[in-house]
Amino acid sequence: MGSLKSATVTSLMTAGGHEQVVYVADRDAGLRGVIAIHSTALGPSLGGVRFWHYANEHDALLDALRLSEAMTLKAAVAGLHQGGGKTVVMWDDPDRPRDTALLHVLGRAIDSLGGRYLAAEDVGATTADMDGLADVTPWATGVDVARGGSGDPSPVTAAGVVHAMHAVGAALDGEPSLRGRRVVIQGAGHVGSHLARRLLAEGAEVSVSDALESRATALARELPVTVIPADRAVFAPCDILAPCALGGVFDDETIPRLACRAIVGAANNQLGAVGADQQLARRGILYAPDFVVNAGGIINIAEEFVGYDRDRALASVARIEDTTARVLATAAEHDVTPLEAAERLARERIASEGSGRWEPGSPAAWTNGEPLRRLRPAAPSRA
């Protein structure tokens, strides 16, 4: 294949193993977007709807292909019965709200896939967007709690990060407890602030940083945490660095200057360069793969399929500790990085449990053999 820039859509799809790509456009609604289904081998594909500014359509396609494949691996290693998909919408300013007409056109396109792709929130998307999609299709998750959705996933995601930290503590020195461990959190947003609370409750020493320093200082007024300036947080000496801001944190420039023993955080796509996992391993820094650590978000959504309950979601997310431990043990056994081990485990699960492609109307793992026609159990009828 030639360069990514000139590659045709189908050559990119075959290279990545993608099942389907759907282009969506509507002149009146101002919609231009791409829905990518990477895999339905383990069940219907699920992934966020991203509203983002792209320089051109090809960049949007590449993002959809890359992100949908990542969702396949994330769901597979998390033990979920679903595959990976993604929608990207070319949108000049992610903060500019979407109107109902656009959401309905997009929702109808998602509906036409009959459940092969389940929409979720992603960068730039809001619960209001999910509600707009859900007006016209049952295949939207993350809708408002009042509509049977799972609401804000960040407390559950933060809980999952702590479970992963226990496994990492055990791998570092045989001690899963976080008591007395020094943790630096990059990003005091939704996940970061919940994470700080949970870590303090477990006796860790916590520092926070945020590009918007007022967010970090506001948290420090509420909790016994110290604040580190945003440009220094990644390099602060600590046991565990928890990236909970944006992706692309670890590259040739940052890795040589790190002073942590392990990296365990919620941010997506933390590795900013090919081979960054190898560089971290060479420096003796234990990197817990982001898509293993932050799976709490989609484990939370999966609870919608059986009738959402926050306590059950928090119980389900506890399995991230075992998953992380298995990834680290596999890495040690095969002398590969944890990232390679996680990808290997995901692909092995798809190969052993995957059943080709999921078709509309087929049952999904959570329907007890019934044809899947909607995502959430019908609300109990009122007497």
Please report the sign of the dihedral spanned by the C-alpha atoms of residue 63, residue 65, residue 69, residue 75: positive
Burial of 161 (0-12, 13-18, 19+ CB in 10 A): buried
279 binds ligand NAD per the rule CB under 6 A: no
Q: Could you tell me which stretch among 54-62, 95-103, 188-196, 373-381 binds ligand NAD (CB under 6 A)?
A: 188-196
Total site size for ligand NAD, rule CB under 6 A:
24
Distance CA 163, CA 316 (A): 11
From the list 36, 67, 188, 346, which residue makes contact with ligand NAD (rule: CB under 6 A)?
A: 188
CB contact at 8 A, 52 and 91: yes
Q: Which of 44, 107, 151, 153 binds ligand NAD (CB under 6 A)?
A: 153
Angle at 89 between CA 88 and CA 91, to 5 degrees: 135
Is 209 an interacting residue with respect to ligand NAD (CB under 6 A)?
A: yes
* Residue (114 or 248) nearer to ligand NAD, CB: 248
CB closest to ligand NAD, residue no:
189
Take residue 100 and report the two structure tokens written for it: 């109902």
Minimum gap (Å) between residue 359 Cβ and ligand NAD: 29
Burial profile 34-52: b = 16 or more Cβ within 10 angstroms, e = fewer = bbbbbbbbbbbbbbbbbbb
* Type of residue found at 315: A
From the list 116, 166, 181, 215, which residue makes contact with ligand NAD (rule: CB under 6 A)? Answer: 215
Q: What is the smallest separation between the CB atom of 80 and ligand NAD, expressed in angstroms?
A: 14
187 sits near ligand NAD (criterion: CB under 6 A) = yes
Quick one: which of 107, 115, 192, 338 contacts ligand NAD (CB under 6 A)?
A: 192
313 contributes a contact to ligand NAD by CB under 6 A: no
Q: Measuring CA to CA, how many Å separate 177 from each of 43, 167, 180, 204, 315? A: 36, 9, 9, 9, 19
Determine the interface stretch with ligand NAD among 104-112, 177-185, 266-274, 363-371 (rule: CB under 6 A): 266-274
Q: Residue 5 catalytic? A: no
Q: Is 149 one of the binding residues for ligand NAD (CB under 6 A)?
A: no
- Rounded to whole angstroms, the Cα distance separating 52 from 60 reads 9
Torsion of CA 365, 366, 367, 372, to 10 degrees: -80
In angstroms, give the least distance from the CB of 247 to ligand NAD. 6
The active-site residue out of 38, 50, 74, 86 is 86
CB-nearer residue toward ligand NAD: 101 or 211 = 211
- Kindly write out the interface string for residues 96-135 of this chain, putting x where it contacts ligand NAD by CB under 6 A and - elsewhere: ----------------------------------------
- The answer to whether the CB of 190 falls within 8 A of the CB of 123 is no
Q: Binder to ligand NAD among 31, 106, 245, 372 (CB under 6 A)?
A: 245
Does 66 participate in binding ligand NAD (rule CB under 6 A)?
no
Q: Which residue is listed with tokens 């899947």? A: 372
Cβ–Cβ under 8 Å, residues 135 and 111: no
Question: What backbone phi and psi angles, to 5 degrees, belong to 323?
Answer: -60, -45
Binding site for ligand NAD (CB under 6 A): 153-154, 157, 186-192, 209-212, 215, 230, 244-246, 266-268, 294, 297
Q: Which residues are catalytic?
A: 86
